[in-house]
């Protein structure tokens, strides 16, 4: 029996979209001129997401993240920044964990917490901006 390497295991567990966002995260890093910065965590798995946004005229002009966590949490954080950049605040209020999961090819129940963490951060940003 052949043993698959780490890359083979990852390919079997995660969708191509999850792997792409994990290996090539979009908008990772700090945002020094942020209008709001929040940090949320998942106490069960220990993942932590810091999300920073800059708002101009009611629009998310820029968004950056730093995530310490699993493959899925990093991928969901990356995707979230893409979903909210350039959008009006009213538009981003409707983003759900299921939408993030679907956009990443559908997350299995064991990794769905990554999309919930991203939405928790989004909700915290909206609260901070209100």
CA distance 14 to 72: 8
Burial 52-86 (b: 16+ CB within 10 A, else e): bbbbeeeebebbbbbbebbbbbbbbbbbbbebbbe
Residue range 93-109, pLDDT digits in tens: 999 999 999 999 999 88
Task: Provide the mean pLDDT of the chain.
Answer: 90
Cα(90)–Cα(83) distance, integer angstroms: 13
pLDDT at 13: 77
Asked if residues 119 and 100 have their Cβ atoms less than 8 Å apart, the reply is: yes
Tell if the pTM clears 0.85, that is, is over it: yes
pLDDT tens digits along 18-51: 999 999 999 999 999 999 999 999 888 889 999 9
Domain spans of the chain, in order of start: 15-129
User: Which positions ≥6 away from 48 have C-beta within 8 Å?
Assistant: 39, 40, 41, 42, 67, 68, 69
Whole-angstrom Cα distance, residue 24 to residue 20? 6
CB atoms within 10 A of CB 120: 18
pLDDT, tens digit, for every residue of 55-94?
999 999 999 999 999 999 999 999 999 999 999 999 999 9
> What CATH number matches the domain at 15-129, 3.40.50.300, 3.90.1010.10, 3.20.130.10, 3.90.550.10?
3.90.1010.10
């Amino acid at each position: 029996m052949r043993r698959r390497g780490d890359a083979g295991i990852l390919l079997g567990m995660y969708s191509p979209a999850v792997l792409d966002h994990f290996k090539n995260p979009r908008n990772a890093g700090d945002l020094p001129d942020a209008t709001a910065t929040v940090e949320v965590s998942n106490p069960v798995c220990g993942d932590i997401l810091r999300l920073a946004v800059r708002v101009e005229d009611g629009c998310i002009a820029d968004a950056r993240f730093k995530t310490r966590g699993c493959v899925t949490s990093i991928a969901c954080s990356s995707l979230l920044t893409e979903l909210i950049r350039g959008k009006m605040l009213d538009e981003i209020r409707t983003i759900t964990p299921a939408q993030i999961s679907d956009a990443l090819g559908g997350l299995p129940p064991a990794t769905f917490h990554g999309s919930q963490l991203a939405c928790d951060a989004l909700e915290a940003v909206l609260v901070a901006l209100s």
